[in-house]
Amino acid sequence: MSNFVEEASFEVSYAPTHIKKWRSSKTGLSITYINQPSPVVNGYFAVATECVDDSGCPHTLEHLVFMGSHKYPYKGLLDTVGNRLYSSTNAWTAVDQTVYTLTTAGWDGFKSLLPIYLDHLLNPTLTDEACLTEVYHIDGEGKEKGVVFSEMQGIESQSWFISLLNMQRQMYPEWSGYSSETGGLMSELRKLTNDQIKDFHKQMYRPDNLCVIITGTVDETELLNVMGKFDDELPSLEENVNRKRPFVDSPSIPTLEQTIVKEVEFPDDDESMGEIFIAWIGANCDDILIATAIDQVGAYFTDSAISLFNKKLVEIESPYATDIDYSTDEYINIAFTFSLNGVPTEKLKEVDLKLKELIQEQCKPENIDLEYMRQLINQQKLKFVSYVENSSTRLSNIAISEFIYGDPKDASTLARWTQNLTEYEELLTWDAKQWSELISKWFVENKSVSILGRPSVKLQKALKKEKKEISRGIKEKYGKEGLEKLAENLKKAEEINDRPIPDDLLLQFETPDPSKIQFIETTSYKAGKNHEVEYDSVAQNSEFSASLEKDGSLKSPLFFHFENYKSQFTSINIVMSSAVVSPELLRYCSIFEEIFSLPIQDGEKVIPYEDVIQQLNEDLLDHGFFPGYQGRYELLNIKMKFEASKYSKAIDWLSKIINHSIFDLKRVKIIVEKIINSNPDKKRNEESMMNSARDRTIYTEKSVKKAQDFIYTETFYKELLEKIENDEFEEISKDLATFRNQLFNVDNMKVFLVGNCEVLQNPISSWDNFIKETNERVSSNGDLSSSISALPRSFEYKSKIGEEGCKYAHLVTTPATETSHLIASTSISTNYLDEDINKIALACEVFCAVEGPFWRGIRGTGLAYGVSIRRSLETGYLNFVIYRGSDAEKTWLVARDIINEFAEGKKLFDDITIENSIASIVNECANQESNAYDAANNKINDNIIRKRGPNYSSKFLHQLRQITSEDLVNITKKYFQPLFNSKTSLVFSCIPESNVDSFEKFLIEQGFDVTVEKVNAEGSNSDAEEEDSCCSGSETESGSSGESDDDDDSEEEETGSENESEEED
């Protein structure tokens, strides 16, 4: 009989989801199951962790758990077995939680790995050798390394890190875990011992302090059986033992007695722009109504261009900030924060006061814009429903918070937090007096903490000096013999950690049957000029296809494609070629990204931009103009998302925005000033700077990737501002009008509709007025090809350097950079059906798998936080990426040696590794279609954009199984070895200034011609060593973590620019 007792079971009222919760009467171990149909099963294994110092114990355990358990004492067994079972693992550490994740294609693999994973959590080996390599060590050259140390080294001098840590310190007392840096400060990681980590594990990693949260489609009976067997092996809860619940049983956090304003410095050599964080401690997390109300106030202040803070501080001439965001921390008492970026340094104190004055004014009921507040409540509710409809992430996050802070004696807590959205309905009844009283209580009478982040050249220099002194001190302390001893100890530790996992142990875990994975199906329809889709891949003889034909499908001059699935919402993407826009005008793209916040000419009257935004918010969930669509970076995309019943309104708005928006001088000036003021903050990001150097070098001005680059366009926008201030706006206005007319042409538009399409009224004829007004503005251009094949691709716009693809290296430095980022590229095919592409994909997985060769040789030795190799057919490059490297030179050499060993047969592509890698790719394919929205877009990508044909994933996986070890050796020689050869590769890197000279020398020795660029406050390349260093541009293929090969195109992230980072093809 199972020890697990059901505590809750209920349907979610706003999504196709059922939630259940059980707790073990024997151990206190909890299970929460969020049943939401998906081919992917996700596990979130949450441990409530409270640490009252900056030692980093929670973060170190996040890493050390994966080094083996007493039952399975092998580093990487969890991930290696996981690969075989279509699974991937990860983890995160926050202030109050450490959560371990398991993502699996299908239930069969998940249930096999689940007890092994949980055993690693509760019974890890925690050896001294693992602590040495994973947490902190000094190598034989006197350099500080360690995976955790390198990770923190990469962020500790960042402006946001410094500001937020200081904010925590001011908000919470020193004895509170909320005031600590759970990632571990470098100064503390240097002296952290393994015994401290073991003690922390003993305190926190208890069955009664662990909740297993699972989402997706699983067999409940099997789930309880698997968990029951695991629970039976655990020790019973001891009676009469006081088990402290982290945070819940800690002393209450005192309220702030006074408002605090603190100025802090962060290192930078551009002192023009700072940042502000203003935070409060709010209501108890169980007070759902008040917590939701506070969130609505946060949106009221910041959600759109007409929200109060933006209207008064951002959307003005000489703006006080480039953007203002609102966020919350779901602690026992919810903390809420406003963050302001791009604040002129001399105005930091003034802006802090102005923002608080704006809040104070809203304490008067007559100042509350009740109509706007209620509109936002409706919109926020619909957005939440949309998120939950497509992803269980929001619900799993709530389940984590409920586990940490909910009342274990009250089984109704989880239902109160997730079952319905009645709090939104109640808030819609609030009057202005109630809102003003709430604002007064929580934002005015409740004291706040303001952190004014000020950039400092002096601090920048001091940190450089400190780094040199630490390095010199280490070498003086240990001397030559001491360093040799450290190197010897490290080598011994690595040998112990890297003991091979016996093949017979791995083979105990059979790869599941992929045919059992339940993929989501969507239905395709085509209309108008859509002649691209294969006939057998679209629905025919259905009621909706008949309605399309009846409604004028064959006559429409537009290209239509519909992907239908059950949903409350529909999305429209109008996809356009950028090739029709004159190259010199493409730099205006960033202004067009604001096209939804311009005034509109509506017949005789002008609709002010404020009213435009308010009305858009009334009718739409989401809208925007974005560079890129489905990984095609040279496309431009207008997107709208709405309730299906508002289809005709959405199209009407499209026509107004595209055809009747006014490029008002005042609005354009404000937009240009925001663009200029945002650059200092962008320059503080190492990846952005590396990608910028690349975009400016390997592409021509005809590419959106270069035309959108913030360094390339910096002078352009400063000149625009000067023209506006000199009354020369007419020229700019003409350029913007020309851009509009060239881009927004009916013949240049492909219309993709995704979601609840079959209920749309007049699906084709609703576009008649849109077509009419667009054609009246600009006549149809018969020269434009309607073929998808004619749409531009990035590889077509390479510069001379990009075409030659060899011998060029570009190093860029940014302030406060402590770690290195690098991307090396070599040419590959741009044909998606090229026979080499599948072999490249499999080889990438072999080299980059968790616990694969790169992982063990580079991450495992502390050389870099992440390393990957990615293919990009859109750009025609295979890319080697280093993310947060502690030693770029050594990382390069180790990666090169690993590739050479496989190419030369010194290491083999064995059958188990190949099988595991294919299984890992199965997991990736399932994750790309984890919800209906992603499945629909994946189908569009395969059938239309990339023309890989229906059921591409199945064909791809079948072809992978035909690849031999000999094929992989040949493909490694053909494409992977050239990555590390100057005759066949390009290199771009953002590197600490202290390492530039040595790394430049290294690259020269490798045969590269090296350009060094230092970006400062006044310009992009004031200290570039070569005149042509920025003559033609780059791309952004490096990911944000170095651990994942694909971008997240989930519904929650779909509004972002696809030009931000490059997905793998």
Average pLDDT score over residue span 929-957: 90
Q: Label residue 113 exposed, middle or buried (CB < 10 Å: 0-12, 13-18, 19+).
A: buried
Q: Which residue has the higher pLDDT, 1037 or 1062?
A: 1062
Q: Does pLDDT of 655 surpass 80?
A: yes
Give me the pLDDT at residue 1024, please: 44
What digits encode the pLDDT tens for the residues 409-465? 777 899 999 999 999 999 999 999 999 999 999 999 999 999 999 999 999 999 989
Write phi, then psi, for 612 (nearest 5 degrees): -60, -50
Q: Does pLDDT of 1026 surpass 60?
A: no
Write phi, then psi, for 564 (nearest 5 degrees): -105, 140
The 3-state DSSP class for residue 449 equals: strand
What digits encode the pLDDT tens for the residues 997-1007? 999 999 999 99
Whether residue 684 contacts residue 813, with contact meaning beta carbons closer than 8 Å, is answered with no
| Per-residue pLDDT band at 243 (split at 50, 70, 90) | confident
Q: How far apart are alpha carbons 928 and 627 in whole angstroms?
A: 21
Tell me what the pLDDT averaged over the chain comes to: 91
Question: Which two three-digit tokens encode residue 633?
Answer: 């970076």
Q: Does pLDDT of 226 surpass 60?
A: yes
Whether residue 578 contacts residue 742, with contact meaning beta carbons closer than 8 Å, is answered with no
Q: Which residue has the higher pLDDT, 542 or 443?
A: 443
What digits encode the pLDDT tens for the residues 637-646? 999 999 999 9
| Per-residue pLDDT band at 785 (split at 50, 70, 90) | low
SS (H, E, C) 63-116: HHHHHCECCCCCCCHHHHHHHHCCEEEEEEECCCEEEEEEEEECHHHHHHHHHH
| Per-residue pLDDT band at 25 (split at 50, 70, 90) | very high
Q: Does pLDDT of 1044 surpass 50?
A: no
Q: Does pLDDT of 1032 surpass 80?
A: no
Q: How far apart are alpha carbons 711 and 991 in whole angstroms?
A: 17
Helix axes 911-927, 77-84, angle to 10 degrees: 70
Q: Which residue has the higher pLDDT, 753 or 1052?
A: 753
- Phi and psi based region of residue 1007 (left: phi greater than 0; alpha: psi -120 to 50; beta: remaining): left
Average pLDDT score over residue span 969-975: 98
Give me the pLDDT at residue 201, please: 98
What digits encode the pLDDT tens for the residues 582-610? 999 999 999 999 999 999 999 999 999 99
Q: How far apart are alpha carbons 191 and 137 in whole angstroms?
A: 10
Give me the pLDDT at residue 779, please: 67
| Per-residue pLDDT band at 847 (split at 50, 70, 90) | very high
Average pLDDT score over residue span 898-926: 94
Beta bridge partners of 265: 454
Whether residue 47 contacts residue 205, with contact meaning beta carbons closer than 8 Å, is answered with yes
Give me the pLDDT at residue 1061, please: 41
Closest to 653 measured CA to CA, from 633, 625, 684: 625
Q: Does pLDDT of 223 surpass 80?
A: yes
Give me the pLDDT at residue 570, please: 97
β 449-456/820-827 pair status:
unpaired
Least confident among 213-222, 268-277, 486-495, 945-954? 945-954
Q: Label residue 135 exposed, middle or buried (CB < 10 Å: 0-12, 13-18, 19+).
A: buried
Q: Tell me the domains of the chain and their CATH numbers.
A: 260-455 (3.30.830.10), 523-779 (3.30.830.10), 798-1047 (3.30.830.10)
Residues 537, 540, 542, 545, CA torsion sign: positive
Give me the pLDDT at residue 678, please: 93
Q: Does pLDDT of 1064 surpass 80?
A: no
Give me the pLDDT at residue 61, please: 97
Element (H, E) at 836: helix 835-848
Give me the pLDDT at residue 692, please: 96
Give me the pLDDT at residue 154, please: 86
| Per-residue pLDDT band at 1022 (split at 50, 70, 90) | very low
What digits encode the pLDDT tens for the residues 290-327? 999 999 999 999 999 999 999 999 999 999 999 999 99
Whether residue 829 contacts residue 837, with contact meaning beta carbons closer than 8 Å, is answered with yes
Q: How far apart are alpha carbons 137 and 130 in whole angstroms?
A: 11
Place of tokens 């302090």: 209
Residue 67, number of CB atoms within 10 A of its CB: 24
Average pLDDT score over residue span 253-262: 96
Give me the pLDDT at residue 238, please: 79
Q: Does pLDDT of 792 surpass 80?
A: yes
Q: Does pLDDT of 256 surpass 90?
A: yes
Q: C-alpha dihedral over 722, 726, 731, 732, to 10 degrees?
A: 40
Give me the pLDDT at residue 814, please: 81
Q: How far apart are alpha carbons 427 and 942 in whole angstroms?
A: 44
| Per-residue pLDDT band at 786 (split at 50, 70, 90) | low
Q: How far apart are alpha carbons 608 and 294 in whole angstroms?
A: 29
Q: Does pLDDT of 515 surpass 90?
A: no
| Per-residue pLDDT band at 1036 (split at 50, 70, 90) | very low
Average pLDDT score over residue span 10-21: 95
Give me the pLDDT at residue 988, please: 98
SS3 content of the chain, % helix, strand, coil (to 5): 45, 20, 35
Average pLDDT score over residue span 862-890: 94
Closest to 25 measured CA to CA, from 224, 229, 225, 208: 208
Whether residue 348 contacts residue 273, with contact meaning beta carbons closer than 8 Å, is answered with no
Average pLDDT score over residue span 329-342: 97
Give me the pLDDT at residue 1040, please: 28
Closest to 403 measured CA to CA, from 101, 46, 92: 46
What digits encode the pLDDT tens for the residues 372-388? 999 999 999 999 999 99
Give me the pLDDT at residue 87, please: 94
- What is 145-195 written as a DSSP string? E-HHHHHHHTTTTSHHHHHHHHHHHHHS-TTSGGGS-TT--HHHHTT--HH
β 273-284/449-456 pair status:
antiparallel
β 864-872/605-607 pair status:
unpaired
Q: Does pLDDT of 817 surpass 50?
A: yes
Measured in whole angstroms, how far is the alpha carbon of residue 218 from the centre of its chain? Answer: 27
What digits encode the pLDDT tens for the residues 53-73? 999 999 999 999 999 999 999
H helices present in 409-513, as ranges = 413-418, 422-427, 432-439, 457-497, 503-506
SS (H, E, C) 135-155: CCEECCCCCEECHHHHHHHCC
Q: How far apart are alpha carbons 512 and 610 in whole angstroms?
A: 56
| Per-residue pLDDT band at 514 (split at 50, 70, 90) | confident
Q: Does pLDDT of 764 surpass 90?
A: yes
Percent of the chain at pLDDT > 90 equals 83
